[in-house]
Amino acid sequence: MKGERWLWVLTVLSLLLMLGAVFMALVQAPPAANVRTETERYTQRIIYFHVPSAWVGFLAFFVTMVASVGYLVRRERAWDVVALSSVEVGVAFTTAVLVTGSIWAKTAWNTWWTWDPRLTTSAITWVIYLAYLMLRGAVEDPEQEARFASVYGIVGFTSVPITFMAIRWWRTIHPVLFDTSGAGLSPNMLSAFLFCLGAFTVLYGTLLWHRVRLEFLADEVRALRRQLNL
């Protein structure tokens, strides 16, 4: 089918873009000006994966919020499928944020974790959306599950702007990548960063499409099982 063909084209494109992102981050981008040791020379490159992962997590949870509103208004299964699928992808990328951030922190701060406002709010957001998935597994009635999850997906999104603004609202040791003038990255670093940001965004769209497709296939299997009384 035409849609299937476009999905696999997008999948190949995502693979090529991610290979390009690895090259840009590890080879093309110069080291940061404030690098002090050889270890920092490599760990500072984590920003090219850490920040795009955070962006994708925020984007995924925003899509969940919009889809949740769509479900409450239209009561259509497709909206609920998108909301669920986007949360699963968003949780995966937020997990990557916490892991890569911890690796960077060990080098920069000599600790794997500290209860900095940005780190704390990121962890809370991660837990909130893990709880979203647990909520869905705890409700047996599909329509009730979708309603509860939609309300939760809307309310839970409030954690995202709080996490984003944490380094601007509270005293924090977490670095600000961009200030109001756009400084912080050299032109070569900025081009690599923007390429990685775009690559991760395309990867999110690809994973979301695959996950939505998988959920609809699961619906078809469940419908066939009911017809066969299995």
Report domain extents, the chain.
Answer: 2-227
* pLDDT value for 114: 87
Rounded to an integer, what is the distance from CA 163 to the centroid of its chain?
Answer: 13
Mean pLDDT for the stretch of residues 106-110? 82
* pLDDT, tens digit (0-9, with 9 covering 90-100), for 59-83: 999 999 999 999 999 999 999 999 9
Q: What is the pLDDT of residue 39?
A: 59
What is the distance between the alpha carbons of residues 91 and 59, in angstroms, rounded to a whole number? 11
Its pTM stands at 0.91
How big is the CA angle at 80 (ends 132 and 52), to the nearest 5 degrees?
65
- Has residue 180 got a pLDDT over 50? no
Two structure tokens written together for 209: 């499409």
Q: What is the tens place of the pLDDT at every residue in 113-128?
A: 888 889 999 999 999 9
How many whole angstroms separate alpha carbon 54 and alpha carbon 105? 16
Alpha helices by DSSP H, listed for the chain, are: 2-23, 38-43, 47-74, 77-108, 117-138, 142-156, 159-169, 187-227
